[in-house]
Amino acid sequence: MRLSPRSLFKLVRHPTVTLAIGLGLSGAAGSAFLAIINASFPHDTAGSQSVLALSGLNFLLATIVTGMMAGSEQEVARQVTKAAALGQDPALVVRKQSRHAAWLIGGTMLATCLLSPLLVSRSLGHHWVLFGELLIGLIGGLAIFPIRGVLTGRRDYPLFSATLIVEGLTRLIPGVLVLVLGWGSVWLYGLVFALGGPTMAAVFGVLAPRWTNRDGYDAATAYAREEQARAQQRAEVPTGIEVEFSAGTQAEAEADDAAEVPEPERSGRRLALLTAASLANQLLYNAIPLLVAARYLSGANVTGAMANKAAAVNSAVGLTRLGILILVPLQAPLLPRLTAAAVHRRYAEVRARTRVLTALCGGVALFAALCAWIIGPWVLWNIMRAHDTLPGAYLALLTLGTGCVMVAMIIQSTLLSLERHFMVLIAWLAGVAVTVPVFLAGNRLLVTTAIAAVVGPFVSMVVMAVDAWIHTRGVGAGPLPAPAPQQSDERAAVR
């Protein structure tokens, strides 16, 4: 079959393709950054400590930004999607969530400054210039998440993907340029990493809608009409659908029930729970590199061999996280679809989508673990330019841990669509709770980090899976019956 330029352009603009391209560039830039700094510094104690300091900036920025704002992104996307599905104006949701995001950003910057002595000594190798660059990266990183939440809720995936492409290119191109010109230094690489990436993506995310005349909510409005047409084919939407339904809530929920807990208060509470859950998730996800940097970065008795091994572990974490690239192209469209289905209580659809995507992520994780076992050591040494070699079995375990996180994040979208925010927090805290003793008891770098990489994410995944199964089985398995005319009239009279 011959592809014409027009059909090829249409294919490239498909949401799945644009998301895959954006995530590919963004993820490649993160791993390439680790490879670049590995190649820039010598394989001795000072060089490995410089690599650890820069990788500490990398993982610290990811932990703080994603931990504080991933919840905001998901809540904005969920609320915008829900408003569109109910035929409401999403602009009101965006303004309210923007105020929440502003408070989160201000509080995060203040807390980071208060913790600066600890962060500089434990994660940044006593480089105060890296802390200044961390603040620069935080500004853009904290801002880009709610922007992407709005784009996800509007289903504007081309612009969403464009922010990812900008993030990847503005970090990758300057990094390669510094390496080729031989200007490598800790402060310059830190500036490239912080000023590029999410900072440039945030600027683009603010300006691009105005350049492309996409400030309106046409995508969300179109989806609302589509969803309303589907709902009419199945069953009439109950009059009280604007009430915040959770899994298992009975169809006769009245508008008066919503008065018991004001909507702004419920929204703020959900965002607080999701932010706490995201922090726990990032603490669990980045526990290995953060611990390695704290233990092997600034000790007085650190040997060259120990520093090289620790730097290699951080590079291995970056390598085995590449599997997570499959997640966002799946998760970004997933949350709006699950939310729309859950709002109308089509739980059979919620279960079906969740099963398919968790099976896909599980299969990818097993295949990736096998590849990591066979060719991972060669890739780590020759491509990532790590400062030491690591066994294939160790890389396979790190990859399986990433797979557990991927499955848990898919199930998290299911729980969020059911408004089970508190259970998401409990699940990630359970993972942290079982991981901490491993770090406290272990004193062998590879054994401790390998066990911790799998145990915590596996527990979080199981807790979420059990709760999702309980709250979707047998409830809302099919279309809702149309409400009785008298009941609808009574409710209209009450309003």
Q: Which of 364, 390, 393, 370 is nearest to 378 (CA)?
A: 390
Q: How far apart are CA 388 and CA 311, in angstroms?
A: 8
Predicted local distance difference test score (pLDDT) of residue 373: 94
Could you say which DSSP state residue 325 is in?
G
Go through the chain and tell me how many residues it has: 495
Q: How far apart are CA 127 and CA 123, in angstroms?
A: 9
Alpha helices in 235-286 (DSSP H): 255-260, 263-285
Both tokens assigned to 83: 């408003």
Predicted local distance difference test score (pLDDT) of residue 370: 93
Amino acid identity, residue 32? A
Could you say which DSSP state residue 86 is in?
T
Predicted local distance difference test score (pLDDT) of residue 338: 76
Q: Which of 253, 231, 232 is nearest to 243 (CA)?
A: 253
SS (H, E, C) 395-455: HHHHHHHHHHHHHHHHHHHHHHHCCCHHHHHHHHHHHHHHHHHHHHHCCCHHHHHHHHHHH
Q: Is 30 buried (19+), middle (13-18) or exposed (0-12) by CB count in 10 A?
A: buried
| C-alpha triplet 371, 287, 173: angle, nearest 5° | 65
Q: How far apart are CA 372 and CA 450, in angstroms?
A: 14
The pTM for the full model equals 0.67
Could you say which DSSP state residue 461 is in?
H
| Counts for the chain of helices (H) and strands (E), in that order | 20, 0
Q: How far apart are CA 318 and CA 38, in angstroms?
A: 12
Q: Which of 41, 380, 19, 25 is nearest to 172 (CA)?
A: 25
Q: Note whether 63 and 84 are within 8 A (CB).
A: no
Predicted local distance difference test score (pLDDT) of residue 205: 83
Q: How far apart are CA 82 and CA 240, in angstroms?
A: 14
Q: How far apart are CA 349 and CA 337, in angstroms?
A: 9
Predicted local distance difference test score (pLDDT) of residue 357: 83
Q: Note whether 292 and 299 are within 8 A (CB).
A: no
Q: Note whether 194 and 61 are within 8 A (CB).
A: yes
Predicted local distance difference test score (pLDDT) of residue 215: 54
Residue the block writes with tokens 């079959």? 1
Q: How far apart are CA 185 and CA 192, in angstroms?
A: 11
Residue the block writes with tokens 């061999």? 305
Q: Note whether 445 and 310 are within 8 A (CB).
A: yes
Q: Note whether 37 and 183 are within 8 A (CB).
A: no
Per residue in 298-314, is it b (16+ CB within 10 Å) or e — as a string?
beeebeeebbbbbbbbb
pLDDT, one tens digit for every residue, the chain (495 residues): 455 555 555 555 666 677 777 777 777 787 788 888 888 888 777 888 888 888 888 888 888 887 777 777 777 877 787 777 677 777 777 777 777 778 888 888 999 999 999 888 888 888 899 999 999 988 888 888 888 888 877 777 778 888 888 888 888 889 889 888 888 788 999 988 888 888 888 888 888 877 766 554 444 444 444 455 445 444 434 433 333 333 333 333 333 333 344 555 566 677 778 788 888 888 888 888 877 777 665 555 566 677 788 888 888 888 888 766 656 556 656 666 777 777 777 778 888 888 888 888 888 889 989 999 999 999 998 888 888 889 999 999 999 999 999 899 888 888 888 888 889 999 999 999 998 888 777 678 888 889 988 999 999 999 999 998 888 875 444 443 443 444 444 344 333
Q: How far apart are CA 376 and CA 264, in angstroms?
A: 49
Q: Note whether 463 and 411 are within 8 A (CB).
A: no
Residue the block writes with tokens 């704002």? 69
Predicted local distance difference test score (pLDDT) of residue 114: 93
Q: Note whether 333 and 327 are within 8 A (CB).
A: no
Q: Where are the domains of the chain?
A: 13-249+260-483
